[in-house]
Amino acid sequence: MTVTDPAPAAHEIGDRVVLEAANVTMRFGGLTAVGDVSMRVHDGEIVGLIGPNGAGKTTFFNCLTGMYIPTEGRVTLAGEQLPPKPLKVVRAGMARTFQNIRLFGNMTALENVMVGRYCRTSSMALTSVLRGPKFRREESATRERAQELLDYVGLGKSTELLARNLPYGDQRRLEIARALATDPQILLLDEPTAGMNPKETEETMHLIFKIRDSGLAVVVIEHDMRFIFNLCDRVLCLVRGSVLVEGTPGEVQSDPRVIEAYIGGDDADEEEDA
Amino acid sequence: MSTNTALPDVLDDSDVSRRDRLREQHGAKAPLLALAGGVLLLVSGLLSWSYDDRILGDISIRFYPAGIQIYAMVLGLVAVVLGVLLRRRPGWLNPGRGLAAVGWGSLVFVVVALVTIARQAGGSININEGGWVALVGALLVFAAGFVAQRFELNVRTWPRLPGWAEILVIVVLMAVLLFTTAYTLGLDDSWTFVCLLVTLLSVAIALVGSGFGEYVGFVGGNNRRVLLLAAFLVAFLFPFTQDGSDANMSIATQILIFAATALGLNIVVGLAGLLDLGYIAFLGTGAYVGAMLSQSTFATIGWKPPFLVVMLCGMAVASTFGLIIGSPTLRVSGDYLAIVTLGFGEIFRLAMFNLDGTNGPDLTNGPNGIPAIPDLNFFGWDFGKVHTVAGIPLGRFSNYYFLLLLLIAFVILVFSRLNDSRIGRGWVAIREDERAAEAMGVNVFGLKLLAFAIGAALAGLAGTIKAHQDTSVTPDQYIFLESAFLLAAVVLGGMGTVAGVLVGATILKLLPEKLRDAADYRLLLFGLLLVIMMRFRPEGLVASKRRQLEFHEDDEELVQLAQTEHLEEAK
């Protein structure tokens, strides 16, 4: 299988900083899971987060999305500081997917995406019972947008299937569609290709490019090195909670410290992918 | 002993293959067996079953079928029809499964009938030839059901009838429903009732199992509005079948109040997935508000507004209580929430018990409660009086029945519209995965509170009517057991569905009224029923497709079926 390298100048990275994490630190008791990590993501940029297992990548994501309250540091989205509440983070325009897929298994694919629209719609209990024209308009707009997003990620035909019955790769894509439904400015993907076969991985890569081209910034955690180095504009390597190396894929790939972190660590098997 | 562990598997395998082999060898005989058994059951209906004419109604006369003789004939007829169908093999039916249900049903039915005759008349000598013929017939049908081959129903297309014919199917179905309900409620004898119940249940299971149920669902889906209208029309016509008798109407009103409350609980438990074990407190709140603001001379508050205002007050007060109880408790979930709500339910009862003037303000008259609540009066329509409509007298409970019918229509409207909306999707998302819902921007805490408040408001509304219908409100009506029964109605019927909860509520309220002989074992039987349900049909009697898949994940066939159905719908 060949993976097409994106031409470096194929797209423009904007000047505007979408997401800025400044000195984020997360301690659990005596354990520092994330120590003083700073990261900037610009418009239309794909940033990769790599690192051996337990390096604190997902914890960092949780700090960004307000699921954890960082011990120190702050997160700003488009210039505004984010409160550590998932609800407000989503409203501000940051959406995420999960490492272990967390779909609403007993809802259909369409309903899953429609739940994603929740924070961008407003009908409350009374309007839902009365069903005025405004409610119906909003409901059909929600449905339409959800269907659009399903088509966008390539699940247009699985609309009415229960999420739990979807094939694994489709579940990951459904999670992306659900996250996109919240109209984010930036998308955080936690291992979007875990468990996928090479073909699905390639499809996912094209999907992420497509999302990037629509103007979103993307941050990706991934163990698949080929995937990450082909996809990202910039890569951060986290080791034991702090940034070891930051740079272009080429720089990070050839950095001896990264290789050592992987080979020298207990995750030698990860090297096979690189 | 080590071989023992492997034994069940081996047994299972051989068991299945033996049955398959049996079906292959003798499957061809099944239609004939079913026909023979069915005809025998039909004939038995024309014969005498017992010497004594006081047992199970009068079944001692020949060629004049009555009571259980008619049930036997119904079972026989169904067996004959299924036997014929088994022979002709229409692609959209699976008569084999239906026959199995009828076989079990008629066997149980005949055995119950014969044992009852023998016991009440003092020995099996009192059983006449009809009983024995029926037994042979039942055994034959049972055998037919056992060996009948099951067909794969690959074709999911039903014969499409013209529109008026489909509506006719619904109308006939509803008419049968109305007639059966009126007839069932008219029965006084416990054991006849049991026999009827077995008959109805087995016929229902047979129809559903053989695929008629899905066909009806298909027809109903095509004419949803007609179905809904017909169902309400049947419910509306029911009092007119009672000839002015209030005995059954009293039960019916109790069922409606219970069902309305259970539907409210269904929002909390079935949709939002919050286990509330103190829900009866909200019904109590509504009832107390209704009583305190009523015209009763024992009412503790001087203000006596019109009933519409009282209903609104009941809703408001109950939902306020819901918010007050909910805001601290909803921070815990799962088992903890169940325990905390259980505690609040008891606190409510004890508070009502003690607000008698000595321990606090006199609001509830303590254990005496508020008695002598007068009947409602809507624009001169006195609910306490007998009104004659179209020559049929309608008593006090019929009047309340109509009001409660409106109430339940309102509750169903609220439930189903909320279910199919942004709010409902949020609730189900929370039930599925709270953390993920939060990460997708769903206001988890707010929605949980809302579920609590709306559920409480609906129960409060039902409570205000209940106060007038019962004419008195006392704390001991709102014990934990009632909460448990409400929850049982929801679980038994099917979480998250309207029809299921209606069925569950009806069963839980109707059976104790009709099975007075077994009153001492009421709780034992309910426990048994729930255990059996959880073993064989954990998704409830009427399952939403969602729940069905949740519990039968391993059932490849079902999953496949759902998928192809979804795909077809999508096209």
Per-residue pLDDT tens over the stretch B363-388 = 888 888 888 888 887 877 778 777 77
Using the predicted structure, report yes or no on whether residue B560 has a pLDDT greater than 70.
Answer: no
Task: Give the CA angle between residues A225, A226, A229 to the nearest 5°.
Answer: 80
Using the predicted structure, report yes or no on whether residue B31 has a pLDDT greater than 80.
Answer: yes
Same domain, B348 and B300: yes
**Higher per-residue pLDDT: B570 or B521:** B521
Domain's final residue, options B191, B217, B236: B236
pLDDT value for B3: 41
Using the predicted structure, report yes or no on whether residue B8 has a pLDDT greater than 70.
Answer: no
B89 found inside a domain? yes
Does B439 contact A86 at a Cβ distance shorter than 8 Å?
Answer: yes
pLDDT value for A111: 92
- Judge contact between B280 and B478, C-beta under 8 A: yes
Min Cα separation A273/chain B (Å) = 30
Query: What is the DSSP track for B30-51?
Result: HHHHHHHHHHHHHHHHHS--BS
- Judge contact between B236 and B405, C-beta under 8 A: yes
pLDDT value for B318: 94
Q: What residue of A is the nearest CA neighbor of B430?
A: A104
pLDDT value for B5: 41
Using the predicted structure, report yes or no on whether residue A223 has a pLDDT greater than 90.
Answer: no
Same domain, B253 and B402: yes
Helix/strand/coil (H, E, C) string of B216-227?
A: HHHHHHHCHHHH
Using the predicted structure, report yes or no on whether residue B459 has a pLDDT greater than 80.
Answer: yes
The helix (run of H) or strand (run of E) holding residue B85 is helix B68-88
**Higher per-residue pLDDT: B561 or A257:** A257
- Burial string for B490-506 (b: 16+ CB within 10 Å, else e) reads bbbbbbbbbebbbbbbb
Mean pLDDT value of segment B407-425: 91
B359 found inside a domain? yes
Task: Mutation target for B interface from A88, A123, A128: give the one with most B CBs within 10 A.
Answer: A128
Amino acid sitting at position B551? F
Same domain, B312 and B216: no
Min Cα separation B412/chain A (Å) = 11
Which among B423, B433, B441 is the nearest to A182, CB-wise?
Answer: B441
Same domain, B179 and B70: yes
pTM of this structure: 0.82
**Higher per-residue pLDDT: B220 or B401:** B401
Query: B564: which DSSP letter?
Result: H
Same domain, B310 and B248: yes
Q: With contacts defined as CB-CB under 8 Å, which chain B residues touch A156?
A: none
Using the predicted structure, report yes or no on whether residue B549 has a pLDDT greater than 90.
Answer: no
Instruction: Name the pairing type of β-strands A186-190 and A94-96.
Output: parallel
Distance CA B199, CA B217 (A): 22
Quote the tokens at residue A245.
Answer: 């190396």
Using the predicted structure, report yes or no on whether residue B119 has a pLDDT greater than 90.
Answer: no
Distance CA B332, CA B336 (A): 6
**Higher per-residue pLDDT: B106 or B553:** B106
Distance CA A213, CA A207 (A): 10
Number of inter-chain CB pairs under 8 A, A vs B: 121
Q: With contacts defined as CB-CB under 8 Å, which chain B residues touch A96?
A: 439
Same domain, B109 and B226: yes
What is the Cα Rg of chain A in Å?
19
In B122-223, which residue ranges form alpha helices assigned H by DSSP? 129-147, 163-186, 190-210, 212-222
**Lowest-confidence region among A60-64, A169-173, B322-326, B556-560:** B556-560
Which among A87, A104, A179 is the nearest to B433, CB-wise?
Answer: A104
Using the predicted structure, report yes or no on whether residue B101 has a pLDDT greater than 50.
Answer: yes
Residues of chain A with CATH 3.40.50.300: 1-93+184-274
Would residue B365 be called left, alpha or beta, if left means φ above 0 and alpha means ψ between -120 and 50 degrees? Answer: left
Using the predicted structure, report yes or no on whether residue A224 has a pLDDT greater than 90.
Answer: no
CB atoms within 10 A of CB B431: 21
Mean pLDDT value of segment B296-319: 87
**Lowest-confidence region among A228-242, B248-262, B279-293, B298-312:** B298-312
Q: What residue of A is the nearest CA neighbor of B454?
A: A125
pLDDT value for B548: 62
Nearest to A190 by CA among A111, A100, A103: A100
What is the residue-averaged pLDDT of chain B? 82
pLDDT value for B10: 43
Using the predicted structure, report yes or no on whether residue A268 has a pLDDT greater than 60.
Answer: no
Mean pLDDT value of segment B153-163: 64
Using the predicted structure, report yes or no on whether residue B281 has a pLDDT greater than 60.
Answer: yes
- Judge contact between A42 and A232, C-beta under 8 A: no
Which among B425, B433, B444 is the nearest to A102, CB-wise?
Answer: B433
Domain containing B288: what range?
244-369+395-543
B434 at interface of A, judged by CB pairs closer than 8 A:
no
Confidence of residue B509 (pLDDT cuts 50, 70, 90): confident
Mind listing the pLDDT tens digit for each residue in A229-244?
899 999 999 988 888 8
B335 at interface of A, judged by CB pairs closer than 8 A:
no
Which residues are B79's β-sheet partners? none
Confidence of residue A7 (pLDDT cuts 50, 70, 90): very low
* Domains held by chain B: number: 2
CA distances from B24 to B89, B141, B150 (A): 16, 18, 10
Same domain, B281 and B198: no
Nearest to A119 by CA among B437, B454, B330, B268: B437
Nearest to B180 by CA among B160, B165, B196, B202: B196
B263 at interface of A, judged by CB pairs closer than 8 A:
no
Distance CA B464, CA B311 (A): 6
Does B440 contact A135 at a Cβ distance shorter than 8 Å?
Answer: no
Task: Report percent pLDDT > 70 for chain B.
Answer: 90
Distance CA B270, CA A100 (A): 26
Nearest to A87 by CA among A108, A70, A66, A59: A66
Using the predicted structure, report yes or no on whether residue B325 has a pLDDT greater than 80.
Answer: yes
Task: Select the highest-mean-pLDDT range: B221-225, B271-275, B492-496.
Answer: B271-275
Q: With contacts defined as CB-CB under 8 Å, which chain B residues touch A157?
A: 567, 570
B156 found inside a domain? yes
Mean pLDDT value of segment A143-149: 93
- Judge contact between A49 and A99, C-beta under 8 A: no
Does A125 contact B423 at a Cβ distance shorter than 8 Å?
Answer: yes
Distance CA B421, CA B406 (A): 23
Which among B414, B425, B559 is the nearest to A115, CB-wise?
Answer: B425
Q: With contacts defined as CB-CB under 8 Å, which chain B residues touch A103?
A: 433, 436
pLDDT value for B159: 67
Distance CA A189, CA B138 (A): 63
Q: What residue of A is the nearest CA neighbor of B554?
A: A165
Same domain, B411 and B513: yes
Min Cα separation A150/chain B (Å) = 13
Which residues between 406 and 425 in chain B have a beta carbon less than 8 angstroms from any beta carbon of chain A?
413-414, 417-418, 421-425
Does B432 contact A160 at a Cβ distance shorter than 8 Å?
Answer: no
pLDDT value for B537: 80
Nearest to B546 by CA among A161, A88, A72, A63: A161
Mean pLDDT value of segment B519-530: 85
Task: Give the CA angle between residues B104, B106, B112 to the nearest 5°.
Answer: 100
Same domain, B161 and B294: no
Distance CA B139, CA B530 (A): 29
Task: Mutation target for A interface from B418, B440, B444, B545: give the one with most A CBs within 10 A.
Answer: B440
Min Cα separation B444/chain A (Å) = 9
Quote the tokens at residue B73.
Answer: 């004939």
B549 at interface of A, judged by CB pairs closer than 8 A:
yes
pLDDT value for B1: 38
Is B554 exposed, middle or buried (CB count within 10 Å of its CB: 0-12, 13-18, 19+)?
A: exposed
Which among A107, A128, A142 is the nearest to B417, CB-wise?
Answer: A128
**Lowest-confidence region among A164-168, B110-114, B206-210, B478-482:** B206-210
Same domain, B457 and B510: yes
Mind listing the pLDDT tens digit for each residue in A19-37?
999 889 999 888 888 888 9
Same domain, B310 and B457: yes
Confidence of residue A2 (pLDDT cuts 50, 70, 90): very low
Q: What is the CATH number of the domain that holds B483?
A: 1.10.3470
Distance CA A273, CA A225 (A): 6
Which among A102, A124, A160 is the nearest to B566, CB-wise?
Answer: A160
pLDDT value for A272: 44
What CATH superfamily is the domain A1-93+184-274? P-loop containing nucleotide triphosphate hydrolases (3.40.50.300)
Distance CA A81, CA A71 (A): 15
Domain's final residue, options B236, B269, B296: B236
Same domain, B179 and B287: no
pLDDT value for A1: 38
Distance of CA A220 to the CA centre of its chain: 6
pLDDT value for A112: 93
Which residues are B362's β-sheet partners? B356
CB atoms within 10 A of CB B136: 15
ipTM of this model?
0.88
Does A121 contact B418 at a Cβ distance shorter than 8 Å?
Answer: no
Distance CA A245, CA A231 (A): 17
The helix (run of H) or strand (run of E) holding residue B423 is helix B422-432
- Judge contact between A155 and A173, C-beta under 8 A: yes
Min Cα separation A207/chain B (Å) = 20
Nearest to B329 by CA among B428, B453, B475, B432: B453
Which among A125, A159, A161 is the nearest to B563, CB-wise?
Answer: A161
**Higher per-residue pLDDT: B542 or A4:** B542
Q: What residue of A is the nearest CA neighbor of B429?
A: A104
**Lowest-confidence region among A38-52, A92-106, B322-336:** B322-336
Confidence of residue B171 (pLDDT cuts 50, 70, 90): confident
Min Cα separation B280/chain A (Å) = 23
Helices and strands per DSSP (H, E), number in chain B = 22, 4
Does B570 contact A159 at a Cβ distance shorter than 8 Å?
Answer: yes
Confidence of residue A9 (pLDDT cuts 50, 70, 90): very low
Mean pLDDT value of segment B217-230: 78
Mean pLDDT value of segment A108-115: 92
Q: With contacts defined as CB-CB under 8 Å, which chain B residues touch A129?
A: 413-414, 417-418
Task: Give the CA angle between residues B489, B405, B306 to the nearest 5°.
Answer: 115
Which among A131, A138, A159 is the nearest to B417, CB-wise?
Answer: A131
B355 found inside a domain? yes
Nearest to B462 by CA among B295, B318, B558: B318
Which among A121, A125, A178 is the nearest to B418, CB-wise?
Answer: A125
Nearest to B421 by CA among A159, A142, A88, A103: A142
Q: With contacts defined as CB-CB under 8 Å, which chain A residues touch B414?
A: 129
Q: With contacts defined as CB-CB under 8 Å, which chain B residues touch A114?
A: 422, 425
What is the Cα Rg of chain B in Å?
26
Task: Report percent pLDDT > 90 for chain B.
Answer: 19
pLDDT value for A124: 84
**Higher per-residue pLDDT: A246 or B547:** A246
pLDDT value for B2: 41
Task: Give the CA angle between residues B433, B434, B440 to the nearest 5°.
Answer: 90
pLDDT value for B329: 83
* Four-point Cα dihedral B248, B254, B256, B260, nearest 10: -170
Task: Report percent pLDDT > 70 for chain A.
Answer: 92
Which residues between 445 and 504 in chain B have a beta carbon less than 8 angstroms from any beta carbon of chain A?
450, 454
- Kindly state the greatest CA–CA separation across chain A: 65
- Judge contact between A102 and A96, C-beta under 8 A: no
Quote the tokens at residue A159.
Answer: 């609309």
Sorted by sequence, the CB contacts under 8 Å of residue B432 that are 6+ apart come out as A104, A105, A106, A107
- Judge contact between A99 and B437, C-beta under 8 A: no
Confidence of residue B199 (pLDDT cuts 50, 70, 90): confident
Which among A87, A107, A124 is the nearest to B428, CB-wise?
Answer: A107
Does B549 contact A162 at a Cβ distance shorter than 8 Å?
Answer: yes
pLDDT value for B372: 82
Distance CA A255, CA B506 (A): 72
Q: What residue of A is the nearest CA neighbor of B445?
A: A87
Which among B424, B436, B567 is the nearest to A104, CB-wise?
Answer: B436
**Lowest-confidence region among A8-17, B429-438, B466-475:** A8-17
Mean pLDDT value of segment B405-413: 92
Does B429 contact A86 at a Cβ distance shorter than 8 Å?
Answer: no
B379 found inside a domain? no
**Lowest-confidence region among A132-146, B97-111, B545-559:** B545-559
Does B442 contact A95 at a Cβ distance shorter than 8 Å?
Answer: no
